Amino acid sequence: MYYVYVLKDPRTDLPFYVGKGQGTRAYDHLNKNMQGKNTENPFKDHVIRQILAEGLLPDIEYVYHTDDEDDAYDYEAKLIKRYGRRRYDVNGLLTNLCEDNRPPHNEYSVERRQKYRDRMIGNKINTGRKQSESEKLLRAQSLKMAYDTGTRTVTERMRQASSETHKGKVISEETRCKMRDSAKKAKVAWKGKSEVEILGADKAAQKRAKLSSYPPPNRKTITIDGILYESIRAASKALGISEYKAGKLNDSKPQQI
| pLDDT at residue 257 greater than cutoff 50 | no
Q: pLDDT averaged over the chain?
A: 82
Residue 48: closest CA among 79, 90, 16: 16
User: In the prediction, which pLDDT does 104 show?
Assistant: 56
Model pLDDT, residue 5: 94
Q: What is the mean pLDDT of residues 52-74?
A: 91
- Confidence label for 41 from pLDDT (cuts 50, 70 and 90): confident
Mean pLDDT for the stretch of residues 131-147:
80
What's the confidence (pLDDT) of residue 253? 60
- Judge whether residue 256 has pLDDT over 50: no
Q: In whole angstroms, what is the distance from residue 226 CA to residue 46 CA?
A: 67
Concatenate the DSSP letters of all residues of 171-217 into one string. Answer: PPHHHHHHHHHHHHHHHHHHTT--HHHHH-HHHHHHHHHHHHHSPPG
How far is the C-alpha of 176 from the C-alpha of 178, rounded, in Å? 5
pTM of the model: 0.42
17 vs 144, which has greater pLDDT?
A: 17
Cα–Cα distance measured from residue 164 to residue 155, given in angstroms and rounded to the nearest whole number: 14
pLDDT bracket for residue 255 (50, 70, 90): very low
Rounded Cα distance between 63 and 8, Å, is 12
